[in-house]
Chain A
Amino acid sequence: MFSEWNWVAYGFYLLLNICSLEASGGLVQSCGHIIPESPVLALGSNFTALCILNESCLDFGNIYANQIIWKIKNKVVPKEQYREINRTVSSVTFNDTSSLATPLTCNILADGQIEQNIYGITVTVGLPPEKPKNLSCIVHQVSKLIYRMVCTWNPGRHTFLDTQFRLKYRWPQENFPDCIPKDVNNSCTIPDVHFFVNLEIWVEAANALGKAESDPLVLDPIDIVKPLPPHNLSVSSVLPTVLKLSWVNLITNPVMKLKFNIRYKIIGDTNWMEVPSEDTASPRTSFSVQGLQPYTEYAFSIRCMKEDGVGYWSDWSENKTGITTEDKPSKGPSVWRIIDASHSPDSWTLHLMWKALKPSEANGVILQYELTVRDKSTLSSPVEKYNVTSNNLTLQLPNGTYEVTVVARNRIGASPPSVLLIPASNSKAPVTNLKALPKYDKLWVGWTAPNSYVLKYVIEWCLVSSRSDCIIEWQIALGDVQGMDLKGIKPFKCYLITVYPLYADGQGSGQSVKAYLKQDRPSKGPTVQTKKVGKAEAVLTWNHLTVDEQNGFIRNYTILYKTIDGNETVVTVDPSKTEYTLSSLTSDTLYTVRMMASTDNGSRSGPDFTFTTQKFGKGEIEAIVVPVCLAFLLTVLLGVLFCFNKRDLIKKHIWPIVPDPSKSNIAQWSPQVSAKHNISSKDQMYPEGSFTDVSVVEIEADDKKTFSEQDLKPFDLLKKEKSTSEGHSSGIGGSSCMSSPRQSVSDSDEGETQNTSSTVQYSTVVLNGYRDQTPVQVFSRSESTQPLLDSEERSEDHTGGGDSTPQRQQYFRQNGGQDETSADRPCFERTKQITHANEGDLVGFVQLQISGQSSQPLGFGMEKSTQEAGLSNVFQTSTEGQTVRPETVEENPLSVHEMPKSYLPQTVRQGGYMPQ
């Protein structure tokens, strides 16, 4: 309760306080204050502050010193650092000011609860200034009369406080105003300098914590002057080796006596030469520089300082250039020749060439070269003189020994002559052990000197290229050297270097060597091709790389070849070769081959080339084909021989003996015999394809009167049927005749036969065998032992014997029946005949048709039996024929196949007439 009242009272008091302050003129009167007010403290020192409370506050708020809390910023200072001095004063002590920060406040904890700020101070912590060190001054000449002294010093450590530096200077009894640095703390410029009176200079540094002075510097400013360099430097030439320099000094003698340094260089050089300093150690405004080269441009510059060497050198003046005057050339030009003797053996094209003198030797502008050429072989010959402005001369001379002198001339005079002796032949000893190697990025040529004294050596070199001629460059070396570096050598290029020794009385022959400054791998690989490809080997060819492509010495070629899926095989080939034979290849295989050229520095492959090895080796095909052909020929020959030997047998086989049905009187034995006839007719059918004609044997009516017409009818039908099966004639009706006039030829023959005879037809014999063969077999058939046919055969034999001519005629006529001229008539006749036949023989026809179904196989069987056992019983044959039916099956399709050749067989077979 009490504290509450207390707070109210305190608040009231504060209000009162403020009101009273306003009343007393705006001055705030707080409850206390801190001593010291806003101190500046040295870093690291100790510090004690006091907070003194006003008596008035004590009465109202029960505020006492023991309630004071010290704070740095917002951090409470530990109580151990407090000390209550009395009821109203509390002190705080810091052993190290580095722990201090702004603000330091004095607060009161009123009633143990609320913190009230009483007062605060700003604390500044820093360091006192250090004594400035290393004070040094220099007087810069600004213009002819103005000098400024700049003094610099080391200000020492950072003080964290505002520190003033002042440069102070004075004469013994006279002080000058301080020099106060602008923007910096380590240098100051004194604008007005007085020479020849000693000046005492020092630096004073001061801040809130103290003041420090540097050691004083006592000096006469004239001893620290850095003058301006002499100006208006001019150069004038006096002699070929002397140039005179003049200049204006910016410091006059009473102020300062000067000494100088003069430096110079040839324009283009970087290194300066200096005139000995003792030559220019006294005041002057001109100097002659001697020992220069004639006709050379030099640059000069100059600097100065006080004569006694006290002070500083000025900067170097601006460069000034001057050219020395010309002098006569100091030496003759180097001279060399190229002799071209290719036009004719007796005369030379002599190319004389000489090198322009170096500027240091020419000593001026070379106006012309004066040459003399003297033929040494004849004493009386005059000396030829030439004046040339170029660096070469070409002469046509008969070959011999000449002495050439060359003199270079400029405006002042001529050089000593250079002499070149050109002997008729280079008969003297050459150099030995010539070699060229790269050395420190230069191509070095070395040789061993010959035994005799050599005046000098000429080194010729040229770039070997396939694109251009070898353009010779050359250089002369003195006789005592045995090696030199060549200039202007390009890397990766082949150079041909030749060295000639020159003797007093002649020349040695040149020795040559090829060299590269630097090698690289070839720029392309060789293109490989096959020249010849065999079964197991291939001959590869390629061209050498050109010199430009080589980029170095080709050390070897490498051939790489492989099959599509095989491993690569590598072969190394000597670089001189352009052909190589790959062996042990697989036949009929695709090979890929490429080639690599290698120098010391690498290799490069050419394009791939593919080839296929052959399937057969050389002569292999011949070895196979020739025996095969021979064997074939032999076989054929043997076959022919065999056939010839066995011709009878073959004949029998091909033309079997066919029984002659015409001699058979089988008609009488009908119906059984019909089968037999059938057989024989079928027998004739066998070589169906070969037989084109039907021959009709005409039998004289007399001979055949024994046979009844009746008997013959079936036979006739049979014949017709047969002929239809042959496909050449139709035995039925005129329709067939109409459809095929050609067939009707044969038919009409038949008809004719029938009509002319006007007797009963005896028989129709079908010819078998080849068309021109006489039906001999018919007659041989008649020799059959068959009892039934015996008489018939015999009678036929007779009749055949007696009447063979007309029969044959008929036969042949028929044979030539292709002839169409007589075709029409028989056709009509035949129609008649057919009508006759149709009248009564229909039944027989039907019969025959039925039997004909099986007649073919039977017939074949018959044929067989005749082959094997001669004639046998008909029945037997028929039975036999049935047993060999499988064979007939084979045969039948053949006849069927043949059928389309004819018209009728189809109709017959199909039974077109059968329903009738």
Chain B
Amino acid sequence: SPTGDSWGIFTFLCAALCNLPALPALNCSEELGAGQSIQQTYDLTRYLEHQLRTLAGTYLNYLGPPFNEPDFNPPRLARAERVPSATVDLDLWRGLTDNARLAANYRAYSRLLCYLRVLDSQVGTAELRHRLAHFCASLQGLVLSIGGVMSSLGYPLPAGPAGPPAPPGAPTAPNDFLKKMDDFWLLKELQTWLWRSAKDFNRLKKKVPPAVVTLRLEAREF
């Protein structure tokens, strides 16, 4: 009935108004807005993607030819399979649930981060090491952000190799070229993952109603 609708709107507005003063104080809580954290994670993914583009260029130059050649496209070696691959069929990926995709992202970045840290510790130049460290820290942030998004959406964090213990068993490359090949693939996979994650979060962003975000903005202006 129309009366019931108007009452509903009214109570909603009242509730919203009552909550307004409390909102700024709560803005630290992850529950505040899944939308906001999705947006932030999306921005972060884009930011990392952008960072990686310059970083990878620098690092491949550091590796030297042929890795820094634009059309260098080596076959993926079997030993590189340890690095989580994003080369899954796109339709298949889309067919997964949000939770599954988020969990896959979470796991993948956790693993990638471990390899990346190893890579960081081996780099010779201080400047590159610094940039890698910065990227690592940001990637760590991404892992945390995805975890935050999952928790804000009510999904459980995937168990397993979330932390650092994953890579210890990683066998060292038999020679320098193969090691460089590992690094090359690491960066390449990272790029693919980031590219796909950005799409994921963009899609997820659209799914989550932006009301909370709007409300939050209003509250900030208060």
Contact = CB atoms under 8 A, between A and B. Distances in A.
Interface stretch (B11-19, B104-112, B138-146, B202-210): B138-146
Interface of B: 27-28, 30, 40-41, 43-44, 46-47, 49-50, 54, 134, 137-138, 140-142, 144-145, 147-148
Given A195-B44, A197-B138, A252-B50, 9 more contacts: A172-B30, A173-B147, A192-B134, A192-B137, A194-B137, A194-B141, A196-B40, A218-B27, A255-B47
A216 B140 CA distance: 22
A196 B147 contact: no
A560 B1 CA distance: 111
- Interface SS of chain B: helix
B44 A197 contact: yes
A145 B127 CA distance: 12
B27 A196 contact: no
A171 interface: yes
A194 B137 CA distance: 7
25 contacts: A145-B54, A171-B141, A172-B30, A173-B147, A174-B144, A192-B134, A192-B137, A194-B134, A194-B137, A195-B43, A195-B138, A196-B40, A196-B41, A196-B145, A197-B138, A197-B144, A198-B28, A198-B40, A200-B28, A218-B27, A252-B50, A254-B43, A254-B46, A255-B47, A255-B50
A197 B141 contact: yes
B144 A222 contact: no
Nearest to B40: A196
Contacts of B40: 196-198, 220
A254 B40 CA distance: 12
Interface string A624-645: 0000000000000000000000
Nearest to A200: B28
A194 B134 CA distance: 8
B141 A196 contact: yes
A185 B148 CA distance: 34
B47 A254 contact: yes
Interface string A237-258: 0000000000000001111000
A254 B144 contact: no
Contacts of A254: 43, 46-47, 49-50
A521 B144 CA distance: 89
Given A218-B27, A254-B50, A196 B140 contact: no
A426 to B, nearest CB: 71
Interface in A165-215: 171-174, 192, 194-198, 200
Contact of A173 (B54, B142, B144): B144
Contacts, number: 53
Nearest to A172: B144
Nearest to A220: B40
B156 to A, nearest CB: 15
A200 B27 CA distance: 11
Contacts of A171: 140-141, 144
A336 B134 CA distance: 76
A434 to B, nearest CB: 63
Contacts of A255: 47, 50
A196 B28 contact: no
Instruction: Sort chain A's interface into a size bin.
Output: 20 to 34
A643 B40 CA distance: 160
Nearest to B139: A194
A220 B138 CA distance: 13
Contacts of B49: 254
Contacts of B144: 171-174, 197
Interface string A743-765: 00000000000000000000000
Contacts of B43: 195-196, 222, 254
A145 B30 CA distance: 29
B158 to A, nearest CB: 15
Please indicate which of the listed interface residues A194, A222, A255 has the most CB atoms of chain B within 10 Å of its own CB.
A194
Contact of A194 (B28, B50, B138): B138
A186 B50 CA distance: 35
B148 to A, nearest CB: 7
A172 B148 contact: yes
B132 to A, nearest CB: 12
Contacts of A218: 27-28
A884 to B, nearest CB: 158
A254 B194 CA distance: 13
B28 A216 contact: yes
Contacts of B147: 173
A873 B49 CA distance: 188
A596 B209 CA distance: 96
Contacts of A174: 140-141, 144
Contacts of A196: 40-41, 43-44, 47, 141, 145
A255 B44 CA distance: 8
Contacts of A195: 43-44, 47, 138
A200 B30 CA distance: 12
Interface in A584-617: none
Contacts of B46: 254
Contacts of B134: 192, 194
A252 B43 CA distance: 13
Contacts of B27: 218
Nearest to A255: B47
Nearest to B135: A194
Nearest to B39: A196
A220 B145 CA distance: 12
Contacts of B137: 192, 194
B136 to A, nearest CB: 10
Please indicate which of the listed interface residues A197, A198, A252, A254 has the most CB atoms of chain B within 10 Å of its own CB.
A197
A463 to B, nearest CB: 65
Nearest to A146: B134
A222 B47 CA distance: 11
Contacts of A173: 144, 147
Nearest to A217: B28
B112 to A, nearest CB: 17
B109 to A, nearest CB: 13
Contacts of B145: 196-197
Contacts of A216: 28
Nearest to B50: A254
Contacts of B54: 145
Contacts of A145: 54
A265 B40 CA distance: 40
A193 to B, nearest CB: 9
8 A-B pairs closest in CB distance: A196-B44, A197-B141, A254-B50, A218-B28, A254-B46, A196-B43, A194-B138, A196-B40
Please indicate which of the listed interface residues A145, A171, A196 has the most CB atoms of chain B within 10 Å of its own CB.
A196
A221 B137 CA distance: 14
Contacts of A200: 28
A674 to B, nearest CB: 174
A197 B149 CA distance: 12
A197 B54 CA distance: 21
Contacts of A220: 40
Nearest to B27: A218
A145 B131 CA distance: 10
Nearest to A216: B28
A222 B50 CA distance: 15
B196 to A, nearest CB: 16
Interface string A29-53: 0000000000000000000000000
Interface in A246-284: 252-255
A220 B39 CA distance: 12
B159 to A, nearest CB: 15
Please indicate which of the listed interface residues A253, A254, A255 has the most CB atoms of chain B within 10 Å of its own CB.
A254
A192 B136 CA distance: 12
A167 to B, nearest CB: 17
A717 to B, nearest CB: 173
Contacts of B140: 171, 174
A192 B134 CA distance: 8
A145 B43 CA distance: 16
Contacts of B41: 196
B212 to A, nearest CB: 15
Please indicate which of the listed interface residues B43, B46, B54 has the most CB atoms of chain A within 10 Å of its own CB.
B43
